[in-house]
C-alpha cells in the first residue's frame, strides 16, 4: 500500500491532516484548522510544494559555525561586567 494523506477531525472538533507511510506510521502531522476548506487548501499546498522543497539542516551548533569563522565560542567570552 502506498503512502496516503488522511483528513480527519480531532477531539476538539478541528480539522487536521497527516501523511501515513506504507507501513501505517504517521510521518507528517498538520496543525489544526477551524474549517475543512482551510485544511484542504493547506494539504494541496503541501502536495504541490513538497517535491520542490529544499532541505535546510539547522542542526549545526552556533559555536561550530563561529569556530569555522575564527570567532571564539559564546561560552568562552570574558565576563564583561562594568568596573565599579
Euclidean distance between CA atoms 2 and 61, whole angstroms? 36
Euclidean distance between CA atoms 84 and 38, whole angstroms? 59
Query: Within 10 A of 32 (CB to CB), how many other CB atoms are there?
Result: 13
Report DSSP state, residue 52: T
What pLDDT sits at residue 82? 57
3-class secondary-structure state, position 49: helix
Domains of the chain, by residue range, sit at 1-47
For 1-47, CATH number out of 1.25.40.10, 3.30.160.160, 3.40.50.720, 1.10.10.10 equals 3.30.160.160
pLDDT in tens, the chain (84 residues): 899 999 999 999 999 999 999 999 999 999 999 999 999 999 999 999 998 999 998 887 766 766 777 766 565 555 555 555
Amino acid at each position: 500500500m502506498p503512502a496516503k494523506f488522511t483528513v480527519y477531525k480531532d477531539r476538539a472538533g478541528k480539522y487536521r491532516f497527516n501523511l501515513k507511510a506504507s507501513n501505517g506510521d504517521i510521518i507528517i502531522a498538520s496543525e489544526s484548522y477551524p474549517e475543512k476548506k482551510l485544511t484542504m487548501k493547506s494539504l494541496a499546498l503541501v502536495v504541490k510544494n513538497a517535491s520542490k522543497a529544499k532541505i535546510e539542516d539547522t542542526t549545526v551548533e552556533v559555536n561550530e559555525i563561529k569556530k569555522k569563522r575564527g570567532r571564539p565560542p559564546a561560552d568562552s567570552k570574558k565576563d564583561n561586567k562594568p568596573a565599579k
